[in-house]
């Protein structure tokens, strides 16, 4: 057995080499450089000076300014994810129930935000939500009055949900494709209402899809840069925009690196926790 297995294993190992190289060069190298940089000492006059210090991490943990940014990022990430679930799951369900020609048309429409450059799309939102924008004109027309929407968390979340929706719809849609349509019929035949059938029978089966969609959305939203940068403005900072500021405005590279490392670790913790929940809850039942 092992005689036949080992050449196969060896060739499989060789086949993974290109992707391993790619990861090593493109991901691991900059990551380890960032990690090393985050422990460098910093001098306002001379920049990163080498040596080893934990002072940047200590500053982040003890300074309320950074805590607020991290909490805001977490909040925006969670709300974005939640809204994507609330909008994306029914959207995917309806999509999966559509007849043949319409389904692909609407799937394309769902994907359109991804086809537009992030800068163009975000400027579009800032024109829409601006103080003289069409949304405000509508508000005035129906008597709500002018509302400042730009440079608020609401604007950032709206734009994030818009672009993140496909990342929720697609995994949920894939999960729905795998369902046996007779299972939903079975629930109906045993007296369940449509809503009960969806809540008790469909939703639990597509939960892994919702969770993986949620992970992607949360990860992308929590580390998003262009949207909070353009729609959040100078005051409404998220972690990624803060890292940018530290690097390019404060020129405090070690501090920027330390913030980036903490963001990475926080994201990893969220993802691994969710992954473990999925493993434990659904491995045995759904395979």
Residues interacting with another protein, by CB under 8 A?
A: 180, 182-183, 185-194, 196, 200-201, 204-205, 282, 284-287
- Gap between the Cα atoms of 237 and 30, Å rounded: 24
- Tell me the closest approach of the beta carbon of residue 1 to another protein, in angstroms: 27
By beta-carbon proximity to another protein, the closer residue of 118 and 286 is 286
Give least dist CB 208 to another protein, A.
10
- Distance of alpha carbon 22 from alpha carbon 121, whole angstroms: 30
Closest distance to another protein from the beta carbon of 279 (Å)? 15
Surface-to-core class of residue 245, CB atoms within 10 Å of its CB (0-12 exposed, 13-18 middle, 19+ buried): middle
Closer residue to another protein in complex, CB, 97/194: 194
For 155-180, b/e burial (b = at least 16 CB within 10 A) is bbbbbbbbbbbbbbbbbbbebbeeee
Residue closer to another protein by CB (options 79, 274) is 274
Measured from the CB of residue 213, what is the shortest distance to another protein in angstroms?
18
Pairing type for strands 47-50 and 41-43 reads antiparallel
**Structure letter (DSSP) for residue 125:** H
Q: Which is nearer to another protein, 76 or 202 (CB)?
A: 202
Angle at 179 between CA 111 and CA 94, to 5 degrees: 40
Find out whether 117 and 198 touch, Cβ atoms under 8 Å. no
Rank residues 49 and 185 by Cβ distance to another protein and give the closer one.
185
| Nearest distance in Å: CB 81, another protein | 23
Comparing CB distances to another protein, the nearer of 208 and 228 is: 208
String of DSSP letters for 24-82: IIIIIHHHHHHHHHHTSEEETTTEEEES---HHHHHHHH-HHHHHHHHHHHHHHHHHHH
How far is 123 from 125, CA to CA, in rounded Å?
A: 5
CB of 191 to another protein, least distance (A): 4
Question: Does an H or E element contain 247, and which?
Answer: helix 239-248
Q: CB of 84: closest distance to another protein in angstroms?
A: 23
Q: Least CB distance from residue 200 to another protein, whole Å? A: 8
Indicate the residue among 226 and 286 with the shorter CB distance to another protein: 286
Report which DSSP code applies to 190.
T
Q: Which is nearer to another protein, 165 or 176 (CB)?
A: 176
Q: Is the dihedral of CA 274, 275, 281, 282 positive or negative?
A: positive
């Amino acid at each position: 057995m092992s005689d036949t297995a080992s050449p196969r294993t060896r060739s499989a190992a060789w086949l993974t080499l290109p992707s391993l190289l790619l990861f090593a060069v493109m991901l691991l190298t900059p990551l380890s450089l960032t990690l090393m940089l985050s422990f460098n000492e910093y001098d306002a006059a001379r920049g990163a000076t080498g040596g080893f210090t934990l002072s940047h991490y200590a500053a982040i943990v003890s300074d309320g300014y950074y805590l607020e940014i991290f909490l805001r990022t977490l909040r925006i990430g969670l709300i974005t994810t939640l809204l994507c679930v609330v909008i994306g799951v029914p959207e995917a369900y309806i999509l999966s129930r559509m007849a043949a020609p319409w389904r692909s048309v609407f799937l394309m429409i769902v994907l359109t935000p991804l086809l537009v450059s992030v800068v163009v799309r975000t400027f579009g939102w800032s024109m829409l939500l601006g103080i003289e924008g069409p949304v405000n004109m509508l508000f005035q027309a129906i008597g709500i009055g002018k509302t400042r929407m730009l440079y608020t968390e609401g604007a950032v979340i709206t734009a994030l949900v818009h672009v993140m929706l496909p990342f929720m719809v697609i995994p949920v849609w894939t999960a729905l494709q795998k369902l046996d349509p007779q299972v939903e019929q079975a629930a109906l035949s045993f007296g369940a209402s449509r809503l009960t059938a969806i809540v008790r029978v469909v939703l639990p089966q597509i939960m892994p899809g919702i969770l993986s969609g949620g992970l992607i959305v949360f990860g992308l939203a929590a580390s998003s840069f262009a949207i909070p940068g353009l729609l959040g403005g100078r005051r409404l900072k998220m972690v990624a925009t803060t890292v940018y500021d530290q690097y390019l405005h404060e020129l405090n590279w070690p501090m920027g690196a330390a913030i980036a490392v903490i963001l990475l670790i926080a994201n990893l913790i969220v993802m691994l926790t969710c992954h473990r929940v999925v493993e434990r809850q659904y491995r045995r039942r759904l395979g």
